[in-house]
Chains A and B, each alone.
Chain A
């Protein structure tokens, strides 16, 4: 037999399969521990190192952005809801976002259980915006929350997007002396605007 590596791996797997076959288990619907989602979400995302703001309107959010990042030179927004000074749609190469001080993205929804927000390639427009930007501002409608990860995955359609990320806060590490430091590689800070 002269099999290619693929067939050889498959053959090796088949000939070594355990004789007992285990059935796929039924997942019960677990009782929800979180019933009021917004306060839980707010608490969790703060624990994860993000800051939370509640501007009353998009106009107030724009003013908040200017107040918060008045001295930033490059602000790039991937959402029509807030304006920066670099047009994301003009970007052809992910490297062109290397100088971005503040990236702005609208998340699809948040998860009350842990403070994650769901961002897809379509929301980022250019994926590197989420990771090369020094600081991130995430817009999230306060009504777009799910209780936990079970519900979160009901709203995730991986077939429809090449990239999706649950982001829980700024980049973090504790690799030196077991001390928590933000801004290891990705964003140094994450601000969530509930609007």
Chain B
């Protein structure tokens, strides 16, 4: 199912060139989130130990995933939830439709779920006559503008308040000249409330699923998932099979990491735990694979399944911050998107691994210690081997092309770049006035120069780092 290749550089250039407002605003706010994340992390003395533990717990769960899935299913069922299995997006969407149609439900209210995005569920349901309303404010903005979320935690962060005032004016009749966030939020609250009360089902995703009790946890700041779960009679939760954790006590670690990493806050305003249906309600859980089992079998890439979708790698990524999330043309954008998207469609997303400076900042902030930048490099290797790289670019890479075949060798370059990153976060390539990026450029200069410097430095065999150091 290969579709048209995403030209991420051109899309990014379009975002940067749009005006003088959007890209700097985007960059500034994401960098602010990164700085808040740093402060929050520094305030926890055991932060690094927590990242190690979280990474190990995830690795343990994933290497025993069959066991934990069975345990989760048994415990969720014991508590009265109905558990469904879906191999792919189509099966997931069909389960949702079956549950809704057998109960004559024609409107649902949903909170944010990247899995439901992945399955393109809203479009599927809407063409079958079911009204789907996003209840997360950012997701609702994106839904009204017919766009996917551009960031996994801040779905509309690429938009200014002025953009949103225009969208709301058309959709719900607010004053197009009033871009006050308080006013706009209130207007959408009033509109959404009616929809909450009318909906026949509430849909959520899950941040974590606990095998030991068959529970799942949803974290929001708005409380929208909780309204969806507590008001309509039916709650449907879409859960990717990689979301499992063995024990309730694991949450002590993961909840401490999640929001600090995402936005630099101590937690989300609501951390909600669902174990079986609430009083008087129904609970349906759809355990969905959609490519995850295949990813588990990829020795170089299965660690990406540890991802807890905090968005920290996006906030820190100098390329993402300047490009905007929509440039990636995929459900997942930023560094995590680069390593997940090709597992869905190698050809379509073959350009993404080049949309990175390999500075390594993503790897440094990831709360579950995914080797993101190493995986980006490995994906370049895959793309190079499969000749997805366009000719012009293959030439542009020149000497660096050879390096792609030895991913480990890159470590030195990455570390050096990371150090630079700390001193000058905005050192990057995409300086709009000096060098409008994307128009004439095949490859970010920074990466090119670093490859070359590094390559020249290490090309003599005796200078190669030994495999042990890698």
Residues of A within 8 A of B (CB): 4-6, 8-10, 12-18, 20-25, 27-28, 30-31, 33, 44, 47-49, 94-95, 98, 113-116, 121, 126-128, 130-132, 148-150, 152-154, 156, 158-159, 161-179, 181, 183-187
Contacts and interface: CB of A to CB of B under 8 A. Distances in A.
Contact of A177 (B161, B267, B279): B161
B270 A166 contact: yes
Given A94-B231, A166-B271, 13 more contacts: A5-B86, A5-B91, A9-B293, A17-B66, A127-B226, A127-B278, A131-B231, A156-B273, A159-B213, A166-B272, A168-B266, A169-B269, A185-B196
Nearest to A186: B223
Q: Is the interface of A mostly helix, strand, loop or mixed?
A: loop
Contacts of B79: 159, 162
A193 B193 CA distance: 28
A9 B87 contact: yes
A161 B297 CA distance: 37
Contact of A163 (B69, B154, B273): B273
Closest 5 CB pairs of A and B: A186-B223, A16-B297, A177-B161, A175-B138, A127-B230
B184 interface: yes
Interface of B: 29, 32, 44-46, 49, 52-53, 56-57, 59-60, 62-66, 69-70, 79-80, 84-87, 91, 135-138, 141, 154-157, 160-161, 164, 179, 181-182, 184-186, 189, 192-193, 196-197, 210, 213, 215, 221-224, 226-227, 229-231, 241, 246, 248-249, 251-253, 255-256, 263, 266-280, 287, 289, 293-294, 296-297, 299, 302
A184 B271 contact: no
13 contacts: A9-B69, A24-B57, A27-B253, A30-B49, A48-B269, A126-B279, A149-B253, A162-B277, A163-B230, A163-B273, A166-B255, A175-B154, A176-B184
Nearest to B164: A176
A47 B266 CA distance: 10
Contacts of B289: 9, 12-13
A156 B49 contact: no
A183 B45 contact: no
Contact of A131 (B87, B179, B223): B223
Interface hub of A22, A48, A131, A159 (most chain B Cβ within 10 A):
A131
A11 to B, nearest CB: 9
Contacts of A98: 193, 197
A140 B289 CA distance: 42
A181 B182 contact: yes
Contacts of A113: 256, 266
Nearest to A184: B222
Contacts of A179: 161, 181-182
A158 B62 contact: no
Contacts of A173: 137-138, 185, 221-222
A173 to B, nearest CB: 5
Nearest to B139: A175
A116 B266 CA distance: 10
Contact of B136 (A20, A25, A175): A175
A126 B64 CA distance: 38
B234 to A, nearest CB: 12
Given A5-B86, A28-B49, A116-B267, A131 B230 contact: yes
